[in-house]
Amino acid sequence: MENNFDVIILGGGAAGLTAGIYLSRAKMKTLIINEGTAGGQMVLTHEIANYPGVESIGGYLLGSTMRQQAQTFGATIFNNSKVLSLDLTGDEKSIEIARKGKFTSKAFILATGGRSRPLNVPGEDTFKGRGISYCATCDGDFFQDKEIIVVGGGNSALEEAVSLTKYAKKVTIVHQFNHFQALEHYIDEAKGNPKINFVMESEIVEFFGDDKLNMVKIENMKTHEFSEMNIDGVFILIGYIPNTDVFEGIVELTNRKEIITTRDMETNIPGVFAAGDCTAKKYRQVTTAVADGTISGLAAVEYVSNKK
C-alpha cells in the first residue's frame, strides 16, 4: 500500500467519517485510522431519533452507513489500530501504527472522540462485566428483579435509571452533588418513579464481591461518613472523557483535555484540524459531530489544495 496520503483522520466516529466522506469526495487521498470499530459513540446508542431526515435509526446502522459512504468515495479505513508515534509538525506529518507501519500526510484531522468516564476506585476493573456496567441497554436484562445503583446526575444517568426499572426491582441513584445536571423532564420522570430512590452528595469509593459484585462502600461527601450497601449491579453513567492523551504537549488543550479549535476547526498547528467530541464545545450530539466533520473536512481540502 502507498503510505502517503493527502489527509489522515484519527478517529472513525461521526466526525471522522463525515470528514472522510467530504475529503474522499473531493478526490483527496484519505486514510481514516480508528482505535476501535468505526462508528464511535454512535454505536453506543440503541436508537437515534433526532437525526434530521431519518425518523429513527439504530446507532450501529447509522455508523455502518457512514463508514460505507466514506469507503465508497475512496477513503481507506484501518480499524483496531494502535498509534505508536505521531509527528504533527512541519509540512509532512507522520504517524506510526502497530502492525501497519508508518504513514505520512499533508494534513491531519483529530476526531478521536471520547470514552465512558470510569470512577477509578478500587474494585472497578475486577467487577467490570460481573456487576459493573457502563451500558444500560446492553446489560440491563442481567438484573431482572435485582437491586442496582446508577451513578451519575446527568441526562444519561437519569434516563437510563428510569429505563432500568423495567428490569430491576429497586434502582438507587448515587450522585456526588445535592442537585442534578439533567434536564427537568428527566429529573421529574426519575423522581416520579416509585422504584427509584436517591442517595445525594455521595460517592462510591470501593466495590466488593467474590465472583460477582455484591457490595459497595459509599462516602457521604458532606459528613465524610462511610456506609456499605449490598447491591447486585452498578451502572456508571458519569459522562465521557476526551480521547486526547496522545495529543498532550502537541496540540493546545483545555484544562478538561479537550482540543481547542477555531470556528474552522483548526488547532494551533498549521494543517492540523480537530472535530467532534474530542474538541472543546458545549453540545455533543451526532449532529454536532457531523457538522464539525464537515467543516474540518472542507477546511482540510482547502489547506491541502493550497499546498499543492
- Binding positions for another protein, rule: CB under 8 A: 36-39, 43-46, 58-60, 79-80, 82, 128-133, 135, 137-139, 142-143, 211-212, 233
Distance of CA 220 to the CA centre of its chain: 29
**Helix H or strand E segment including 23:** helix 14-25
Least distance between another protein and beta carbon 60 (Å): 5
Nearer to another protein, 23 or 213 (CB): 213
Compute the least distance from the CB of residue 36 to another protein, in Å.
Answer: 5
For the sheet containing 170-174, what is the strand order?
A: 132-133, 233-236, 147-151, 170-174, 196-199
For the question of residue 277 being annotated catalytic, the response is no
Which C-beta is closer to another protein: that of 11 or that of 39?
39
Return contacts of 44-48, CB within 8 angstroms, 24+ apart.
44/135, 45/286, 46/137, 48/286
- Choose the catalytic residue: 6, 87, 125, 135: 135
* Beta pairing partners, 32: 9, 77
- Confirm whether 138 is a catalytic residue: yes
What distance in Å separates the CA atoms of residue 18 and residue 109, rounded to the nearest whole number?
11
Task: Report the residue number, 17 or 251, with the smaller CB distance to another protein.
Answer: 17
Pairing of strands 233-236, 147-151: parallel
Q: Which is nearer to another protein, 37 or 69 (CB)?
A: 37
Residue 265 in grid coordinates = 476547526
For another protein, the closer of residues 152 and 271 by Cβ is 152
Query: Which cell numbers hold the place of 228?
Result: 456499605
Number of H helices, E strands in the chain: 6, 17
* Closest approach of another protein to the CB of residue 300, in Å: 26
Catalytic one of 125, 138, 188, 264: 138
For another protein, give the closer residue by CB, 46 or 102. Answer: 46
The least distance separating another protein from the CB of residue 134, rounded to whole angstroms, comes to 8
Q: How far is the CB of 271 from another protein (least distance, A)?
A: 29
In the complex, least distance from residue 174 CB atom to another protein, rounded to whole angstroms = 19
Catalytic residue among 6, 125, 139, 292: 139
Annotated catalytic, 278? no
Closest CA to 44 of 14, 67, 82: 14
Sequence-ordered list of residues with C-beta below 8 angstroms from that of 256, at least 6 positions apart, any chain: 242, 280
Q: Are 25 and 17 in contact (CB under 8 A)?
A: no
Cα separations in angstroms, 172 against 132, 162, 164, 207: 14, 11, 11, 15
How far apart, in whole angstroms, are the C-alpha atoms of residue 56 and residue 43? Answer: 14
- By annotation, the residues acting in catalysis are 135, 138-139
